[in-house]
Amino acid sequence: MAINRYTKMAYASADDMIFGNATAPVKAGLGLEIGGGYTVPEVNYAPRPEAGATKEKLVEEYERITRDIMARMVQIGAPAVVLETEHVQQMTNNPTWGGEVAAAQKAIMEDYHDEYGIKCALRHTPGDIREDRDYLQLRGDKYDVLMESFEEVASNGADLLSIETMGGKEVSDYAILRNDIAGMLFAIGYLGTTDMDMIWQDITKIAKKNNVISAGDTDCSEANTAMFIAGGLLDKNLAHTLAIIARAISAARSLAAYEAGAVGPGKDCGYENTIVKSIAGVPIAQEGKTSTCAHSDVMGNLVMQCCDLWSNESVEYHGEFGGTTVQCWSESLAYDCALMNVALETGNAKVLRDMMVLSDKYRDPQGYILAYDNAYKVGEAIVKDANDIYLRAKNAAVECVNLLTNADPKLQMTRFEKNALKDAKEALDGLTDDTDQFVSDCLETYKAEVKVFRPENYDL
């Protein structure tokens, strides 16, 4: 299967991008079209720890979760829903466990679809188990088990296949903690993309074999790590300017899934997905204000701007005053989607989109860059050198820095942030445009400095 790099934008202008609409919508599951003119809630959940003791207990837990969500959606009149099962380790390490969970969930969803007409689809996201205690093992026995897990869920009811890959993480962790721009580019842009090229060709083959959807990835392991370390406006562990540079680089990496055959929807925690959508035109899931059950961010409204699925990230299954957690969060998601869908139907979608954006755009450098107008510009930078995975990642970082350097005065940045931006610009200005030289230099540096880095993971 060939890798087909994107060399142009999917949209003629940034203003053409809107929630609920993708240039390449995806039909999946039971009557659902994602990105076909409406938004859909995507509910994400985790079982209680004790439920993982046996396969039987785990299947029962997911059956309860699935019934709770489907019942609540029908109760409030929600027309559609997507369920995302992010695997606990037992499910991926024992592929038949994941397969049995998928089969049990899909049977319940089919019953609700048949009786009430609710449109629905099931996403399964096996865990990237290719991590030992001390190092990544991206190829070998663990890779084979991971592929077996995809095969089991694809053949037992999952409609959408996703993963949060770990490629490059051993170097990115080292680089992010040291404000090392070259290391971030090498880890996220080069190593991460190299790993994505491999794994997404194989996932796509499994999806096609089972007539399901090869959906998409997210740079959770690297860009989200940077975002979480950066924290909120009181935190100084990592400059937010560096976190958004990592995010810009990650868009070039997450794009690789679609170049290897995935078709979307991209995964919820990929805050880079607006950039990816501007290039690939695929539908995307996003999370923001409704993911506060899992984490905080500084752009909770803005990231709704171009979503096709609207997610809560993940919540542990237990009771609340309003029902179980999955019932409460699915209902909140459904009402957000109802508002977006009415805006689409009444011709007010761009007004609502821009209100979402302006509520967060000037709060922080991360929201400023991910606002759809600037996200589109980062996308344009990526496609300029589409066939060179280093240069396109570097272009994204350079454009991010340029946009922040020349930002609207409404974006207030502290001296700490401005100094970090200045240092990043100097680091980028000092990097070569010769990809072979860059990779050679990085191999020499990180083989010596990162003891757990194994170049053979990436055929280097």
Split into its structural domains, the chain has a count of 1
Mean pLDDT for the stretch of residues 434-451: 97
Furthest-apart CA pair in the chain: how many Å? 63
Mean pLDDT for the stretch of residues 184-191: 98
pTM here? 0.98
12 alpha carbon, distance to own chain's centre = 24
Please compute, for residue 65, the number of CA atoms within 13 A of its CA located in the half-sphere on the CB side. Answer: 32
Structural domain contains residue 5? no
Instruction: Give residue-wise pLDDT tens across range 335-379.
Output: 999 999 999 999 999 999 999 999 999 999 999 999 999 999 999
Instruction: Give residue-wise pLDDT tens across range 59-78.
Output: 999 999 999 999 999 999 99
Cα radius of gyration rounded to whole Å, the chain: 21
324 alpha carbon, distance to own chain's centre = 26
Structural domain contains residue 9? no
Structural domain contains residue 286? yes
Mean pLDDT for the stretch of residues 127-146: 85
Residues of the chain with pLDDT > 70: what percent? Answer: 99
Alpha carbon dihedral 430, 435, 441, 444, in 10-degree steps, equals: 150
Q: Is 120 helix (H, G, I), strand (E, B) or coil?
A: strand
DSSP 457: G
Cα four-point dihedral sign 172, 258, 375, 336: negative
Structural domain contains residue 6? no
Structural domain contains residue 377? yes
Checking if the pLDDT of 15 tops 80, the result is: yes
Q: In sequence order, what are the beta bridge partners of 46?
A: 316
Checking if the pLDDT of 135 tops 90, the result is: no
Checking if the pLDDT of 300 tops 70, the result is: yes
Assess contact for 105 and 111: CB atoms under 8 A: no
Task: For 82-120, give one letter per residue: b (16+ CB within 10 A) or e.
Answer: bbbbbbbebbbbbbebbbbbbbbbbebbeebbeeeebbb
Q: Which amino acid is at 262?
A: A
Categorize the per-residue pLDDT at 140 as very low, low, confident or very high, splitting at 50, 70 and 90.
confident
The pLDDT of residue 287 is 98
Instruction: Give residue-wise pLDDT tens across range 370-408.
Output: 999 999 999 999 999 999 999 999 999 999 999 999 999
Structural domain contains residue 367? yes
Structural domain contains residue 378? yes
Q: Is the peptide bond before 265 cis (omega within 30 degrees of 0)?
A: yes
Contacts of 236 (CB under 8 A, 6+ apart): 416
Among the listed residues 214, 218, 89, the one whose alpha carbon sits nearest the alpha carbon of residue 150: 214
47: number of Cβ within 10 Å: 21
Structural domain contains residue 4? no
The pLDDT of residue 164 is 97
The pLDDT of residue 139 is 84
**Full residue range of the structural domain in which residue 429 is found:** 14-458
Cα(427)–Cα(184) distance, rounded to whole angstroms? 11
User: What token pair was written down for 299?
Assistant: 């752009």
Contacts of 247 (CB under 8 A, 6+ apart): 219, 223, 226, 227, 271, 272, 366, 369, 370
The pLDDT of residue 137 is 81
Among the listed residues 218, 217, 223, the one whose alpha carbon sits nearest the alpha carbon of residue 240: 223
Q: What are phi and psi of 286, to 5 degrees?
A: -140, 160
